[in-house]
A and B are shown apart, each in its own frame.
Chain A
């Protein structure tokens, strides 16, 4: 069945460091891909998404490119801030009637000053 695999955390970085969180997926067809973020004490928020191959989603300095050939959707940011500390979830949806989200296990990011 469909699945999403994320790198395990926690990822610990100093402020202004470069961030990569790896995400790969297994799915037939052409799923839509998402990154959701969960800040401490808050609910899940959509960070960015891409709906077809080679699309790049971007928001708040974060980017991810939908790579069909490597079935990947890695999250990157050029310079992280302390306020980026959160748990990041990669997810896919197959569309169709339900369009449910299938999530990875989440990666905790800790950014220190």
Chain B
């Protein structure tokens, strides 16, 4: 079946602009994660959604970052007033239930000029 998909695959933006990154999880997966992969910080957790529960936002690096998940499916990660240090690959993952494997999307490569 279809895996996790993310769009766009690449995004180039200017410093100060807002960007939106989209994640389509595997159908039926209740949990969704955003991670960031950057040269300086490695792979780090950003935010987690599980069903209708309040999201775990503990990994968001600043209040410029926000995310939402509509209808328990698609998620959008928004970065406001982008900075050069936001340049990274943003990965989305989903899993079907508790204590199950996370399945990753191909990522969105963001470059802030």
Which residues of A are in contact with B by a Cβ distance under 8 Å?
32, 36, 42-46, 49, 51, 89, 91, 95, 97-106
Other than the given A32-B99, A44-B104, 8 more pairs (CB < 8 A) read: A36-B104, A46-B103, A97-B50, A97-B53, A100-B33, A100-B45, A101-B43, A103-B42
Chain B's closest residue to A49 (CB) is B101
On whether the beta carbons of B106 and A97 are closer than 8 Å, the reply is no
Other-chain contact of B45, A36, A44, A51, A101 (Cβ < 8 Å): A101
Chain A's closest residue to B105 (CB) is A43
Q: Given contacts A43-B105, A43-B107, A44-B91, are A102 and B45 in contact (CB under 8 A)? A: yes
Q: Which residues of B contact A36 (CB under 8 A)?
A: 104
Q: Which residues of A contact B56 (CB under 8 A)?
A: 97-98, 100
On whether the beta carbons of A100 and B48 are closer than 8 Å, the reply is yes
On whether the beta carbons of A89 and B43 are closer than 8 Å, the reply is yes
Whether, in the assembled complex, B2 has its beta carbon less than 8 Å from a beta carbon of chain A, the answer is: no
CB distance from A13 to the nearest CB of B (A): 23
Other-chain contact of B104, A32, A45, A51, A106 (Cβ < 8 Å): A45
Q: Which residues of A contact B45 (CB under 8 A)?
A: 100-102
Q: How many A-B residue pairs have CB under 8 A?
A: 51
On whether the beta carbons of A43 and B43 are closer than 8 Å, the reply is no
CB distance from A98 to the nearest CB of B (A): 5
Q: Which residues of B contact A98 (CB under 8 A)?
A: 48, 50, 56, 58
On whether the beta carbons of B59 and A99 are closer than 8 Å, the reply is no
Chain A's closest residue to B48 (CB) is A98
Whether, in the assembled complex, B13 has its beta carbon less than 8 Å from a beta carbon of chain A, the answer is: no
- Tell me the complex Cα distance, A87–B99, Å: 25
Q: B43, B44, B59 — which one has the most chain A CB atoms within 10 A of its CB?
A: B43
CB distance from B29 to the nearest CB of A (A): 13
- Tell me the complex Cα distance, A101–B99, Å: 11
The interface bits of chain B over 23-59 (1 if a CB of A lies within 8 angstroms of the residue's CB, else 0) are 0000000010101000000111100101001001011
